[in-house]
Amino acid sequence: MRAPFLLDPDSNASLQPKYAKNEWRSSRPEYLVVLGVCTHLGCSPLPKFTPGDLTVSADWPGGFYCPCHGSKFDIAGRVWKGVPAPSNLTVPPYTLVADGRILVGADAQPA
Chain segment 49-108, per-residue pLDDT in tens: 999 999 999 989 999 999 999 999 999 999 999 999 999 999 999 998 887 789 999 887
Closest CA to 12 of 25, 3, 1: 25
- CA 34 to the chain's CA centroid: 6
CA atoms within 13 A on the CB side of 20: 27
pTM to 2 decimal places: 0.88
- Which strands form 46-48's sheet, in the order they lie side by side? 46-48, 63-66, 71-74
Between β-strands 63-66 and 94-98, what pairing exists: parallel, antiparallel or unpaired? Answer: unpaired
Question: Hey, which residues does 103 pair with through a beta bridge?
Answer: 95
Domain boundaries, the chain: 1-111
How is domain 1-111 classified at the CATH fold level? Rieske Iron-sulfur Protein (2.102.10)
pLDDT band at 2 (very low <50, low <70, confident <90, very high): low
Which residues does the annotation mark as catalytic? Answer: 69
Looking at residue 111, its pLDDT comes to: 52
